[in-house]
């Protein structure tokens, strides 16, 4: 795939904000971060939920069948660890399914793609789930495994949810009434009413970050200790002033 600096998404922007060298490694040099047990589990569960929502009316056995088909084997140290994580994921999905039966929602979209132009860039993304709300509004939901807890403050300060809300508005002409993280290990939904007054600040951040990405501005570093490529990056351990 050819690198296109004018195509932006949340993951690219987040990588650059975390560390320009991480962005360069993944998106410019087209190298990949090694999978981990947690990343493979999270992706497997997300894929299973996406397939389940794509064929509404299924039962728990259908969800678990999607999970088995979506299971990623990479990132595990041993077959025993793989089985342990597989079972953890199956339990998460079982609990989610029970919660979903008790809190039925009108799922409008699952794994919904959007794209809209913004100045010289094209902003793209894929939203885990969009539910109908009363009054012609929609709720934007992003699934999180819950390895780290989520609060209302996390939802309010989420750049990801903010970009996705703008995408729903500009690309799909939908009016967002609520944004939420659905923490799968809860299972619990952490939701807040959507406030569009912050959209201009989000677009300013996209513009500023996009310009730095075009210039490949590497004048700062992120936190190496928590970087997924710290053992692969030539900048690791060379703290800049």
For 35-80, how does the pLDDT look when each residue is reduced to its tens digit (9 = 90+)? 999 999 999 999 999 999 988 778 999 999 999 999 999 999 999 9
- 198-238 pLDDT, tens per residue? 999 999 999 999 999 999 999 998 888 888 888 888 787 65
- 139-176 pLDDT, tens per residue? 999 999 988 889 999 999 999 999 999 999 999 999 99
Mean predicted confidence (pLDDT) in 108-125: 97
3-state secondary structure of 27: helix
Beta-strand ranges (E) seen in the chain are: 7-9, 107-118, 121-132, 137-144, 175-183, 188-193
Planar angle of CA 222, 127, 185, nearest 5 degrees: 75
Q: What is this structure's pTM? A: 0.92
CA distance linking residue 67 with residue 52, whole number of Å: 9
Which part of the chain has CATH 3.90.320.10?
107-205
Q: Residue 142: its pLDDT value, please?
A: 98
107-205 maps to CATH 3.90.320.10: yes
The string of DSSP letters for 107-133 reads EEEEEEEEEEEETTEEEEEEEEEEEE-
Task: Output the six-digit token pair for 107.
Answer: 């799922």
- Is the predicted pLDDT of residue 2 greater than 70, yes or no? no
Which residues, in sequence order, are CB contacts of 22 under 8 Å at separation 6+?
Answer: 15, 16, 222, 227, 228, 229, 233
């Amino acid at each position: 795939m050819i690198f296109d600096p004018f195509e932006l998404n949340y993951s690219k922007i987040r990588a650059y904000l975390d560390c320009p060298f991480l962005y360069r490694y993944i998106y410019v040099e087209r190298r990949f971060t090694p999978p981990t047990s947690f990343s493979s589990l999270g992706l497997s569960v997300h894929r299973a939920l996406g397939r389940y929502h794509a064929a509404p009316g299924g039962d728990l056995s259908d969800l678990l069948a999607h999970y088995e088909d979506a299971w990623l084997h990479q990132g595990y140290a041993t077959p025993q660890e793989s089985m342990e994580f597989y079972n953890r994921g199956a339990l998460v999905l079982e609990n989610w399914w029970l919660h979903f039966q008790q809190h039925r929602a009108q799922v409008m979209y699952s794994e919904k793609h959007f794209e809209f132009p913004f100045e010289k860039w094209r902003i793209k993304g894929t939203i885990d789930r969009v539910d109908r709300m009363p009054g012609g509004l929609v709720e934007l939901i992003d699934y999180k495994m819950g390895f780290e807890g989520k609060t209302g403050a996390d939802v309010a300060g989420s750049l990801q949810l903010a970009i996705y809300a703008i995408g729903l508005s500009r690309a799909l002409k939908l009016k967002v009434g609520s944004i939420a993280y659905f923490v799968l290990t809860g299972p619990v939904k952490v939701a807040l009413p959507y406030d569009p007054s912050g959209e201009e600040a989000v677009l300013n951040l996209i513009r500023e970050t996009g310009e730095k990405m075009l210039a490949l501005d590497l004048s700062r570093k992120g936190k190496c200790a928590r970087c997924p490529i710290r053992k692969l990056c030539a900048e690791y351990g060379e703290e800049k002033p």
